[in-house]
């Protein structure tokens, strides 16, 4: 009888896990960034990134963060707020980063302007970086 009860409890817990995962997914931050170093092939920790939103009066700063040891900022959008449809800009402060590394760079900062729709989707902006070039795209 104990084995049957354990199986029932395990089944109930397993059945509720997708619901918990779905609710966690709904609470995810709508914006993340990732910086990878093309020269070394490893994530780039210590890059400051700012987020701005375009408004009729100009660009308004919403948030900033610094990439972690994995080169990521997993939650750049202000917590508890919904991302509106519109134009946004992430600014990678690469000049500051390279100065800390005692290396020159051609791009003191890299602004990436992108457009969002208010559909509750997630936006991921990866930056592939070297001292004299970069590439970016919409990631997932």
Domain boundaries, the chain: 29-136
Q: Does domain 29-136 have CATH number 2.40.128.20?
A: no
What is the distance between the alpha carbons of residues 33 and 9, in angstroms, rounded to a whole number? Answer: 40
What is the distance between the alpha carbons of residues 107 and 137, in angstroms, rounded to a whole number? Answer: 18
pTM for the model: 0.79
- Asked if 92 and 112 count as a contact pair (C-beta separation under 8 A), the reply is yes
What pLDDT, in 10s, does the model give residues 63-81? 999 999 999 999 999 998 8
- Asked if 93 and 109 count as a contact pair (C-beta separation under 8 A), the reply is yes
What pLDDT, in 10s, does the model give residues 74-127? 999 999 888 999 999 999 999 999 999 999 999 999 999 999 987 778 999 999
């Amino acid at each position: 009888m104990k084995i049957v009860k354990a199986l029932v409890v395990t089944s109930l817990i397993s059945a509720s896990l997708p619901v918990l995962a779905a609710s966690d997914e709904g609470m995810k931050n709508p914006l993340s960034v990732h910086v990878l170093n093309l020269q070394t092939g490893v994530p780039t920790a210590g890059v400051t990134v700012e987020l701005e939103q375009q408004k009729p009066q100009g660009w308004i700063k919403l948030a900033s963060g610094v990439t972690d040891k994995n080169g990521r900022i997993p939650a750049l959008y202000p917590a508890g707020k919904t991302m509106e449809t519109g134009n946004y800009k992430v600014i990678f402060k690469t000049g500051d980063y390279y100065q800390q590394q005692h290396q020159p760079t051609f791009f003191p900062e890299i602004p990436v302007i992108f457009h969002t729709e208010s559909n509750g989707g997630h936006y991921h902006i990866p930056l592939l970086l070297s001292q004299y070039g970069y590439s970016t795209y919409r990631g997932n």
